[in-house]
Amino acid sequence: MTVRVQTLKGADAGAYYVEHLPSYYLDAGEPPGRWHGKGAERLDLAGEVDDEAFLALMAGLHPATGNHLGRRYGDHTARGFDMTASAPKSVSVLFALGDGPTRQAVLESHDAAAVALVDWVEAHAHTRYRQQGEIGVFDAEGIVAATFRQHTSRTLDPQLHPHVVIANRVRSTDGRWLALDARLIKHDQRTLSALYHAALRSELRRRLGVEWNEPTNAIAEIATVHPDVLAEFSTRTGQVEARFEEKLERFEAAFGRQPTQRERWRLEREAVTDSRPAKVHGFDAEALHEQWADQARAIGYEPERVVAAAVSTELESHPIDHISRTEVAAAALAALAEGQSTWRAAEVVRELAAAVPPGLTAEPGRLLAWLDEVAADVIDTHMVELSPPVPEGVELRSDGRPVSESVLHRALSTPAIVAQEEALVVWADKRIEVGGVDAAAAGRRSTMELSGPQRQVAAAVAGTRELVLVVGPAGTGKTTALAPAVAQLRAEGRAVFGVAPSATAAEVLSTETGVGADTIDKLLIEHRLARRPQSEFDLTTGATVVVDEAAMVPTAKLAELALADLADRRGWRGWWEIPSSSPPWGARACSRTWSTASAPSSSTG
């Protein structure tokens, strides 16, 4: 993810952008900020950003009259949001080593992608206010944004990245200036990243004939730029990665588990801040480009050849109308089902953007509008709504959703996944109804003092129940309760094996409980093959299979484990650990899942 959104708070929230950004390095050719958005037009803000107007806006004041735009800001009120988008390193290298026309084409492509992203955010912008006693989410009539393009990292590596400052003031349809509902841009930074990179790839392909590697996580590098060159100009990346690894190790040591996705994002953000060096000043633009050229030569790469290999004079056009919507939609649906069971509309857009062929030549604005069109079609034709039905007569937003619904609360899935969920619940019901005997002696094998619920969990896991579902938030000691259960099972000569969504999670599970463990993918693959599974996966009848972090496992994989004759045919029993904040099944099955999970009191914790 290379688009990050930071909340700007405090009275000096706008000062950085007028006092520090212009002097990132002296005479460096950094352009002044530019105004964007329909909200800016309403305030007569256009063209270059004026410092005083920008500071007034960030203070919540009308830039011309000085009157307050809506409520006065407090000391801790969000004044705006900095949406920073970093270009792939190879694009920055092309800018760093290219001649004048090449540099200009790269910068214009980068700006076009950034503006298209701003326009997409504006098209989906909302505000919130109370109507008839209830808080609703309403369309906004435009945002006020200022873009500040930067060319280097703090260590003076080439690194194109715009700061897009979105003011926390939007005009509502009733004429008032209100706060932006920022949940979309804060929660869907992966979508923003995918959109920006798809737009940038398309524009650079259109202008310079650049060829791209296949995207990974929606991001791709220019195919002809050698990894050695990328590494040479990635000093800052190395600093952040080293600090992030330190933070990961400390987190796992302190909490005994892997961080959640949201916690990882927080750790990454902290790593960026902690490893941030002081800014370097005093370099002009041409001196930097000469320095970058010398760096490339020093590792054996002539700048002119690097650029010539990346830029094609024989451009083959691939306009958007020639792209198969069916193929892009199929790839997006497969990616969603691989990683999630339910999703929101913005996540559909994210996977569509990631699935766009890297050879596309389309203007960024047209591409992002096309992605919204395809997303709407995919939702209508391939998905089912898991959100409550829209009541008749209620006010709707321009996206067709009721004003009573948050942008984060719409849930979508596919008929196939819903059918799998329903089958999983039936399967779980049958197994839980069988009952079984708990092994009370398991709790006595713990090297730590267990709480009452932890003893119940240990006894249930080490007992004879065919399915044990343990529901609870992170930090409540589920893994601590599992360790003595594993010891009890082994003491009785019963096989036990653990699976987890990732190799790291499997390693943590094994280390903390003593159980042999691997990824769920590895277990499933071993049993798909025609040959006999490897010994550690060839579990005997009655073996206990521990599914750690089951909420992170896609429904299709849980269904394959439980329903594709694997668990039943092999005669396995199961322990599924489910964080209470993250159900593994969609909304239609969740209520039944929780009731079955809590039915035998000794099987929950």
Tens-place pLDDT, residues 522-569: 999 999 888 888 988 998 888 999 998 888 888 889 999 987 668 888
pLDDT of 88 higher than 50 = yes
With bands split at pLDDT 50, 70 and 90, how would you rate the model's confidence at 590? very low
pLDDT at 230 over 50: yes
Q: How confident is the model at residue 586 (pLDDT cuts 50, 70, 90)?
A: very low
* 168-181: average pLDDT: 93
Distance CA 158, CA 541 (A): 59
What rounded mean pLDDT belongs to the chain? 86
Highest mean pLDDT of the ranges 156-165, 237-246, 476-485: 156-165
State mean pLDDT over 390-395: 88
Helix pair angle (345-355, 325-339), 10° resolution: 120
With 50 as the cut, is the pLDDT of residue 153 above it? Answer: yes
The helix/strand/coil state of 126 is strand
| In the predicted structure, residue 581 carries a pLDDT above the cut 60 | no
Tens digit of each residue's pLDDT (9 = 90 or more) over 342-379: 999 999 999 999 999 998 999 999 999 999 999 999 99
Residue 96 has pLDDT above 70, yes or no: yes
Round to whole Å and give the CA distance between 201 and 358.
Answer: 7
Q: Per-residue pLDDT for 95 more than 70?
A: yes
pLDDT above 90 (res 597): no
In angstroms, the Cα distances linking 171 to 41, 55, 70, 178 are 11, 19, 10, 6
- Tell me what pLDDT residue 551 has: 80
**Alpha-carbon gap, residue 461 to 456, rounded angstroms:** 9
Backbone angles phi, psi at 261, to 5 degrees: -60, -40
**Dihedral sign of CA atoms 408, 411, 412, 417 in order:** positive
Position 1 scores a pLDDT of 65
**pLDDT attached to residue 129:** 92
Q: Is 201 left (phi over 0), alpha (psi -120 to 50) or beta?
A: alpha
Q: What is the pLDDT of residue 279?
A: 54
Model pLDDT, residue 593: 28
Question: Is the pLDDT score of 80 beyond 70?
Answer: yes
* pLDDT at residue 133, as a whole number: 86
pLDDT band at 202 (very low <50, low <70, confident <90, very high): very high
Q: How far is CA 365 from CA 114, 115, 198, 295, in A?
A: 10, 8, 11, 36
Q: Is 80 exceeded by the pLDDT of residue 186?
A: yes
> What number is the average pLDDT over the span 51-75?
93
CA distance 95 to 161: 12
Residue 387: φ, ψ to 5°:
-75, 160
pLDDT attached to residue 24: 40
Closest to 426 (Cα-Cα) out of 600, 603, 588: 588
* 156 pLDDT higher than 70: yes
Task: Say what the pLDDT of residue 237 is.
Answer: 62
Per DSSP bridges, beta strands 496-500 and 467-471 are unpaired
What confidence score (pLDDT) does residue 165 get?
A: 96
What local confidence, expressed as pLDDT, does residue 582 receive?
A: 45
- Whether the pLDDT of residue 446 is over 80: the answer is yes
> Which pLDDT score, from 0 to 100, does residue 599 have?
30
Q: For the chain, what is the total number of helices (H) and then of strands (E)?
A: 23, 16
pLDDT tens per residue, range 6-57 = 999 988 888 888 876 654 433 456 788 899 999 999 999 999 999 999 999 9
Q: Does residue 595 surpass a pLDDT of 50? A: no
* Distance from C-alpha of 551 to C-alpha of 339, rounded to nearest angstrom: 11
Instruction: Give the residue with greater pLDDT, 591 vs 285.
Output: 285
**pLDDT tier for residue 242 given thresholds of 50, 70 and 90:** low
What is the model's pLDDT at position 492?
A: 94
216 in helix, strand or coil?
A: strand
pLDDT at residue 589 tops 60: no
Summarize the confidence of residues 480-485 as an average pLDDT: 92
User: Nearest Cα to 191, choosing from 412, 349, 356?
Assistant: 349
What pLDDT shows up at residue 368? 97
